[in-house]
Amino acid sequence: MLWLGAMAAKANGEACGLCGGRTYLIERRGELATARVCTCSVDCPMCGGRGHRLVQKEGTFSAKVGPRTYEVLEPCVCTLRRTRVALYNDVQMPGVMAHASFDNYRPFNEAQDRGRGVAMHFANQYVKGATNKGFVLSGPVGTGKTHLIAATLGHLVLEMGVKTRYVEISLLYATIRRGFQDGKSGGEIIGPLSEVEVLAIDELGKGRGSPFEMETLDELIARRYNAGRTTLFATNYSLEPERKGARSSAPSGYRTTDDARSAMKDAELLRERVGERIYSRLCEMCTFVELPRDTPDRRRTRQEMDAPPPMGGMRNPGR
């Protein structure tokens, strides 16, 4: 149970049937996941709606007088709750991930279980305001990488009040291109992403590999690397340092769009997609977790299980 929920459960004597004692709900609204304070906690019994309360403390201000008891005004738990709900709504989490948590992540293999363990350890051991090593989750589509990213960011925001952001890299490129039409520079859009305490970049390596994309990605990661800020990544490309039995064709610099497309057309390694400098920085910034190529696609597996049986017969339960 989250600490905000624990406070509410303690005050109310029982957990709410809607939020389970968390005191907030996360729901899908259009393209984004949004949080709101649960109806069970709109009227705060601890402060009566004032948003703050008197707290009794003890301190020693003089050896001669000794310990003294005094009262101070502190933000109520309901104020912290509203603040963190607002922070969550700034994360820009995809709506499909509204219900993603560590508890409902179902690993199919040992590597997925390790991925969940790395994400949970990061979330639980995160030190606010310090330099924390992030992680990169690599694996085929539908293997729960974004699920673990969403669970991690949700914990950081709602449990600890950490400012985070989520961005899907190809959508970031599209946003910057649209910004050019409105007279904005790429730096104006990258700036806030460079400064947020924890940034999650999904679909790393996706794109055409054009100079614009490479320069944008390099600038964003360089800014965060130089500032010692924590970044999380998810990618469909392998984290292997080089191809087995073949020399890597990783781009050493920026080339024409046609050259980049040709070099990266059939690339399967993240190193080949992002270049040597970015890959080197990822090695220092993050823990690497790679899911096997044969890890099942959750969405595909779910669709096959839900498909109606063939006409004229029952579905074979053993398949």
CA distance 114 to 109: 9
Q: At what angle do helices 276-285 and 211-227 cross, to 10 degrees?
A: 30
Cα–Cα distances in angstroms (integers) from residue 87 to residues 9, 29, 317, in the given order: 23, 16, 46
The pLDDT of residue 9 is above 80: no
The pLDDT of residue 124 is above 90: yes
Q: Which of 83, 99, 129 is the last residue in one of the domains?
A: 83
- Considering the domain architecture, whether residues 78 and 101 belong to the same structural domain is answered as no
Q: Is residue 55 included in any domain, yes or no?
A: yes
Q: Is residue 317 included in any domain, yes or no?
A: no
Q: What does the mean pLDDT of the chain come to?
A: 84
pLDDT for res 63: 73
Query: Measured in whole angstroms, how far is the alpha carbon of residue 42 from the centre of its chain?
Result: 27
Query: Residue 39: which region, alpha, beta or left (left: phi > 0; alpha: psi -120 to 50)?
Result: alpha
- Considering the domain architecture, whether residues 16 and 121 belong to the same structural domain is answered as no
CA distance 183 to 190: 15
The pLDDT of residue 71 is above 70: yes
- Considering the domain architecture, whether residues 37 and 173 belong to the same structural domain is answered as no
Q: Is residue 155 included in any domain, yes or no?
A: yes
pTM of the model: 0.80
Q: Is residue 157 included in any domain, yes or no?
A: yes
- Considering the domain architecture, whether residues 265 and 140 belong to the same structural domain is answered as yes
Structure tokens at 25: 């709900």
Q: Is residue 316 included in any domain, yes or no?
A: no
pLDDT digits (tens, 9 = 90+) for 243-259: 665 444 444 444 455 55
- Considering the domain architecture, whether residues 48 and 140 belong to the same structural domain is answered as no
CA distance 315 to 306: 11
Structure tokens at 41: 């906690």
- Considering the domain architecture, whether residues 63 and 172 belong to the same structural domain is answered as no
CA distance 291 to 109: 9
Q: Is residue 205 included in any domain, yes or no?
A: yes
- Contact between 88 and 138 under an 8 Å Cβ cutoff? The reply is no
User: Is 267 or 154 the better-scoring residue by pLDDT?
Assistant: 154
- Considering the domain architecture, whether residues 147 and 53 belong to the same structural domain is answered as no
Q: Is residue 315 included in any domain, yes or no?
A: no
- Considering the domain architecture, whether residues 10 and 101 belong to the same structural domain is answered as no
- Considering the domain architecture, whether residues 12 and 34 belong to the same structural domain is answered as yes
Q: What is the mean pLDDT of residues 143-170?
A: 97
Q: Is residue 112 included in any domain, yes or no?
A: yes
The pLDDT of residue 114 is above 90: yes
pLDDT for res 306: 54
Structure tokens at 274: 């992002």
Question: Phi and psi (nearest 5°) for 34?
Answer: -130, 150
Q: Which among 112, 91, 263 is positioned nearest to 168, based on CA atoms?
A: 91
Structural domains counted in the chain? 2
Domain that holds residue 233: 90-301
Which of 33-47, 63-77, 292-306 is least confident? 292-306
pLDDT for res 82: 93
Confidence band, pLDDT 50/70/90 cuts, at residue 318: very low
- Considering the domain architecture, whether residues 108 and 42 belong to the same structural domain is answered as no
- Considering the domain architecture, whether residues 111 and 150 belong to the same structural domain is answered as yes
* N-to-C CA span, the chain: 38
Q: Which of 67, 83, 99 is the last residue in one of the domains?
A: 83
pLDDT digits (tens, 9 = 90+) for 93-102: 999 999 999 9
Could you list the beta-strand ranges (E) of the chain: 24-29, 32-37, 52-60, 67-75, 134-138, 164-168, 198-202, 230-235, 286-290
The pLDDT of residue 78 is above 50: yes
Q: Which of 64, 83, 102 is the last residue in one of the domains?
A: 83
Question: Phi and psi (nearest 5°) for 136?
Answer: -120, 125
CA distance 108 to 147: 14
pLDDT digits (tens, 9 = 90+) for 262-316: 444 445 899 999 999 999 999 999 999 999 888 888 776 655 545 555 555 444 4
- Considering the domain architecture, whether residues 60 and 156 belong to the same structural domain is answered as no
The pLDDT of residue 15 is above 90: no
DSSP code for 94: B
The pLDDT of residue 77 is above 90: no
Give the Cβ contact number of residue 132 at 10 Å: 19
CATH code of the domain covering residue 269 = 3.40.50.300
- Contact between 24 and 38 under an 8 Å Cβ cutoff? The reply is yes
Residue type, 245: G
Q: Which among 49, 10, 32 is positioned nearest to 93, based on CA atoms?
A: 32
